[in-house]
Structure 1
């Protein structure tokens, strides 16, 4: 199941090689009505919706089945879209509703950790636990693979929905590194051989800079650079 099948309104973009570079920002806009940097995320509800749209957009530009990329069975993903993006027409056929995700042990362990520490009630925190866990096995900074604008948005997400876990990161360790370290500690394992972080050769791996340009903004800029003429919509997203 492709992103075009899951998001039928994206069909016109599926075979357009130029639009692939900024598909993430485009999908975000089609879900929410605005580009990511135009979004008002001042309220918790708007922020949650921003997070979900960001993850869906990041999953779509990765290619392949979106349920698999976000770690949610098709029926759960359809319910999420109905709750948070009701204006979007979703093709809820049997292929979508019965799509099941094969979850590996690593994703399951991260998901269980998040579920144990969730601080908000309802379906959303369960969906986010699964989605964050799945995106955590991607190779980039966690905030990047969630499609978020920066590390601060990830910190806000974790502090809001998984507060007790976020509160333990008192030394501002990189979030992905912190999550894996927490898993090891919970199992009685030692992730590090150096008792003091400042004496470790891998200090920058855990505590180094996590800034940078978001993937969607980077892709949008790429399109602007490659545009053949002045007619391209060059809004910075």
Structure 2
């Protein structure tokens, strides 16, 4: 009787572990989601790259930085959105011409792939995603 009890207890523990894994997102699952987002942004940028440097160096860098929690121009080290706009126009001119002037770059890129950037959920500057300052919007 004791053996049956121990076997049942072991089976229940195994089931509990499986359920815990299935319903609680693990670090591995979260990382794979971020990797997928990064890859999708990178692939999207590569379509519009002007040359191999933009395609194989700059696009992956921008994609990785787009996962960070600040505005994209800040995470890339630019002082303003105007600088970011000029940089994107240099390396991704067709893409820069498609971006609406009143939309931020990170928002534009994630909208293009049909996803939401990880930083958007906690951003305190959401009202500026569609209405940037006039001076910055001319970038």
TM-score tier after normalising by the smaller chain length = 0.5 to 0.7
TM-score by length of structure 1 reads 0.35
> Distance between the aligned counterparts of 2:126 and 2:39, measured in 1?
27
CA deviation map 1:131-188 (0-9, x unaligned): 000000101110001111111111011111111111111333011001111111xxxx
Give the structure with the higher percent helix.
2
Q: Which residue of 2 aligns with 1:105?
A: 36
Q: Per-residue deviation at 1:205? A: 4.7
Match of 1:207 among 119, 130, 133: 130
Alignment of 1:1-237 (within 5 A): 104-119=35-50, 121-184=51-114, 204-209=127-132
**Based on CA coordinates, which of the two structures has the bigger radius of gyration?**
2
* Number of residue pairs the alignment of both structures matches: 92
TM-score by length of structure 2 reads 0.58
CA deviation map 1:16-72 (0-9, x unaligned): xxxxxxxxxxxxxxxxxxxxxxxxxxxxxxxxxxxxxxxxxxxxxxxxxxxxxxxxx
Q: Per-residue deviation at 1:125? A: 3.9
**1:147–1:171 distance in 2 versus 1, CA, 3 Å:** closer
- Runs of 5+ in structure 1 lacking a partner? 1-102, 192-201, 211-237
- RMSD of Structure 2 on Structure 1 (CA): 2.4
**1:124–1:179 distance in 2 versus 1, CA, 3 Å:** closer
